[in-house]
Chains A and B, each alone.
Chain A
Amino acid sequence: MKATVLVRPKVGILDPQGEAVESSLRQLGFPVEEARIGRVIDLDLDAASPDAARREIEQMCERLLANPLIESYEIEVQA
């Protein structure tokens, strides 16, 4: 089963990488108000169902893929 995890810096967390990209985009003339940079993790895993996969991936996020202090995550499981 395939799934994608999106990990983002939480609102209010300083994201200097995003700020640098935002300022570069502005210099290129794009009317960008804000850029935030996260991480995409594509997974291929064995799971009995999409729900089971989601539960498993939530564990992965809590334990390793995201740091809950500074990052939020979203899980997309491909049916």
Chain B
Amino acid sequence: MTEVAPRIGVLVFPGSNDDRDAAWALSALGANPQLLWHGEEELPALDAVVLPGGFSYGDYLRCGAIARFSPAMRAVSAFAEEGGLVLGICNGFQILCEAGLLPGVLRPNASLEFVCADVPVVVERTDTPFTSRCTEGQSLTIPVKHGEGCYHAPADLDETHVLFRYAPGANPNGSERDIAGVVSEAGNVCGLMPHPEHAVDPLLGSADGGLVLASLVDAARERLYARA
């Protein structure tokens, strides 16, 4: 029996450049991805939303600061507030932080250098829609590629928000507490700097990112069944 493909929206901003890779990866993992232009004021019926990597609006002012006010982001905020699943990758993570959907903010890398490398990322929690296929403490090899990925946490950030952490000694950007990705208090919004969509096949060097995206596809499929 073939499983039904959940509909996952992938937002496209001016300057997004990983939107098609994200859509390709989601499709390969059994989802039905839909590219959505940032000017859309309403979202179609979706089971999850992915904000892809790139340089939305040229990263002017601060990364994600302009994109968060796009019409589609208003719709994504409403979607998230209703409990909808939202995953932000790299620039998508920056946008979610600027939008206040996730705590903290991403700053220029401590090295001031653009970093492009496969990094070991440790899964801190598996009880989320983004990590259900992982095991606790599992180390995933996933590439990063960013100039502004240094996570600055609010002083009172609870450890329960930390979903992914760079392995000890492998922090590529100076992020506080080695944080690579966080999850919202309600657990339905996640952002991370590493790019799971670039690690979904051994041919790409690693298939570990597929565990993250497949977890999202599983959770989106459950939403789809609940909706039906």
| Inter-chain contact A69/B154, CB cutoff 8 Å | yes
User: Are A69 and B108 in contact, CB atoms less than 8 angstroms apart?
Assistant: no
* 32-79 of chain A: CB within 8 A of chain B: 64-65, 67, 69-70
Given contacts A64-B65, A70-B107, contact A13 B152 (CB under 8 A): yes
Q: Which of B98, B105, B111, B152 contacts A16 (CB 8 A)?
A: B111
Query: Which residues does chain A contribute within 8 Å of B62, judged by CB atoms?
Result: 67
A14 touches B105 (CB 8 A): no
Q: Which residues of B contact A (CB under 8 A)?
A: 61-62, 65-66, 69, 98, 104-105, 107-112, 150, 152, 154, 174
Q: Give min CB distance, A52 to chain B, whole Å.
A: 23
**Is the interface on chain A under 10, 10 to 19, 20 to 34, or 35 or more residues?**
10 to 19
Q: How far is the CA of A70 from the CA of B97 in the complex (A)?
A: 12
Nearest-CB distance from B85 to chain A (Å)? 25
Q: Which residues of B contact A67 (CB under 8 A)?
A: 62, 65, 98, 105
Interface of B is mostly: loop
- Name A68's closest neighbour in chain B (CB-CB): B105
Contacts of B61 in A (CB 8 A): 64-65
Chain A residues whose C-beta falls within 8 Å of the C-beta of B152 in the assembled complex: 13-14, 69-70
Indicate if the CB atoms of A16 and B112 lie closer than 8 Å: yes
**Residues in A neighbouring B110, C-beta threshold 8 A:** 14, 16
The answer to whether A20 touches B174 (Cβ under 8 A) is: no
Q: Which residues of B contact A13 (CB under 8 A)?
A: 107, 152
Q: Show 11 A/B contacts (Cβ-Cβ < 8 Å), sorted by A.
A: A13-B152, A14-B110, A16-B111, A16-B150, A17-B108, A17-B112, A20-B112, A67-B62, A69-B104, A69-B105, A69-B154
B186 to chain A, nearest CB (A): 20
Q: Pick the contact of B107 from A14, A20, A64, A65 — CB < 8 Å?
A: A14
Q: Are A14 and B65 in contact (CB under 8 A)?
A: no
A12 to chain B, nearest CB (A): 10
Given contact pairs A16-B108, A64-B61, enumerate 10 new A-B contacts (beta carbons under 8 Å).
A13-B107, A16-B109, A16-B111, A16-B112, A16-B174, A17-B112, A20-B112, A64-B66, A65-B61, A69-B154
